[in-house]
Amino acid sequence: MSKLLIDVGSTYFKVCEETNITQHFRDFKKDIYEDLLHKCGDVFSRYKKEDVFICSSANGGLSTLIIGLTNSFSLKFAKNIAFNSGINIIDTILYSKIEESKVPLELIDVVIVVGGIDGISGVFDEKLLTYLQKVQYSNIVYVGTVQDANYLSSHIKSLKVLGNIITGKLHVNELELKEYLTNLYQADIVGKEDIKHLYEFTSNQIYSTPYIVNRSLPLIDANFEVVNPFIVVDIGGATTDIHYSRDLVRDNILSDSEYDRLVFKKLGVYKSKETLVFAAKNNEFVYELLAYLNVTENILEEESEKALRVLMQLSIFLVLYKVSRLNPLYVTLHLELLKSIVLTGGITKVLSYAEVEAIITFFYKKVMNLHSLPTIVLDYDYAIWTLGMKNNEHKEPKCL
């Protein structure tokens, strides 16, 4: 019997059967289980529990505080691993400045402490302990020099010690921390009351959607008209994810993974609409961009289909802008090397190819000063997600 694949997003459910994919707008008055049962109850009745595979990105996201010894190694490596594990919100502290660093007011899901290659000792001292006493956190993991592990374990309750992420050659060793953080992310999603109920539909593990998309990336150029290096932009209701080939970054990180992921927590077109509009209004190109689209800034306040389309075009522009060299706060991608842009998520159901092309043309001309565009591929039928789900079916779950 064929499989039933379901993606629970913050705004839409996507339901994939053998021959068709349908999507349903969420009813926020109901919990996810009730809403899914109401909309797809008849579909579920046709499948056995072991043939149903679910992934979810709804309400997902962990907050992370990374305390590291240097920007170029500890913090860079840990940040990179965290993004690739599905962590959304990341704050960093340089250890040499810990005494003057602000203490986060909110509860941190996981604190990562990192610094030094194995063989050196005395990297961390009282300063770390004093700072941590002021921080509220749920989990804490140490991935620095092994020589400091005992000292820290004896002073920090429930400290999880994993292998050093910095190798003896100053390369990144991501496996253990990535698995740990992926598990936390999974547990966070699965542990949510809304998601727990979904196990009544499936006997398989529920995965996080970014994990599923990430699994499909090595297969994309073989399955689509996509040439490496490429980026996959997944614009959703609450967040926007960008998955990119590592060929587009020059950060001297040697990693086993060919693809990295970056999440823009506040660039969604539905739940995070207000922050998206705020980011747009503060962008130096936005008025020129709105004029180019033949609209005025009033459109940003409207509730219409046209407004939604403009908002989606803006989100494409902003996400490219944020990873361009004009915005060094985020990872800088060498977009001039980019061969293909793949757009997936709800956006492909709303925008036409011409609308996407118009905005990417504007970006490349205005921001990049280039006249040739990368190939644009629209993943109209969630084929990337389907590919990731199918590719994942036969894998033993590593997590939980």
Partner 1 sequence: MKKVVTGVVGNDIHVVANRLIDISLQARGFEVFNLGVNTSLEEFIDAVVETDADILLISSLNGEAEGWCRDLQFLRSEYDLKDVVFVIGGNLAVGEAKESDIIPKYKSYGFDLVFHQVDLNTGLDVLEKYMSELK
In terms of CB distance, is 2 or 72 closer to partner 1? 72
Shortest CB 117 distance to partner 1, Å: 5
- How many C-beta atoms surround the C-beta of residue 14 within 10 A? 22
Shortest CB 96 distance to partner 1, Å: 6
Nearest to 81 by CA among 207, 166, 205: 166
CB 357 within 8 A of CB 376: yes
DSSP string, 285-303: THHHHHHHTT--GGGGG--
β-pair type (230-235, 240-245):
antiparallel
Shortest CB 183 distance to partner 1, Å: 27
Shortest CB 67 distance to partner 1, Å: 14
Give residues in contact with partner 1 (CB under 8 A): 69-74, 96, 115-117, 120, 166, 169-170, 252
In terms of CB distance, is 116 or 268 closer to partner 1? 116
In terms of CB distance, is 54 or 93 closer to partner 1? 93
In terms of CB distance, is 95 or 201 closer to partner 1? 95
Tell me which residue has tokens 């529920």: 206
Residues 6+ apart with CB under 8 A from 256: 174, 175
CB 346 within 8 A of CB 390: no
In terms of CB distance, is 103 or 120 closer to partner 1? 120
Distance separating alpha carbons of residues 335 and 381, to the nearest angstrom: 26
In terms of CB distance, is 17 or 118 closer to partner 1? 118
In terms of CB distance, is 2 or 96 closer to partner 1? 96
Shortest CB 101 distance to partner 1, Å: 14
Shortest CB 123 distance to partner 1, Å: 8
Shortest CB 272 distance to partner 1, Å: 34
In terms of CB distance, is 33 or 73 closer to partner 1? 73
Residues 6+ apart with CB under 8 A from 157: none
In terms of CB distance, is 252 or 296 closer to partner 1? 252
Q: Spell out the alpha helix ranges (H) of the chain.
A: 32-44, 76-84, 126-134, 149-155, 175-191, 193-196, 209-223, 273-281, 286-292, 305-322, 347-350, 353-366, 383-392
Shortest CB 94 distance to partner 1, Å: 9
In terms of CB distance, is 15 or 162 closer to partner 1? 162
Shortest CB 97 distance to partner 1, Å: 9
β-pair type (137-142, 108-114):
parallel
Tell me which residue has tokens 């072991």: 50
Tell me which residue has tokens 């990192």: 114
Residue 6 burial (C-beta neighbours within 10 Å; 0-12, 13-18, 19+): buried
DSSP string, 32-51: HHHHHHHHHHHHHTTS-GGG
Residues 6+ apart with CB under 8 A from 7: 13, 14, 16, 54, 55, 56, 57, 209, 212, 382, 385, 389
Residues 6+ apart with CB under 8 A from 87: 61, 62, 64, 110, 181, 185, 263
Shortest CB 49 distance to partner 1, Å: 49
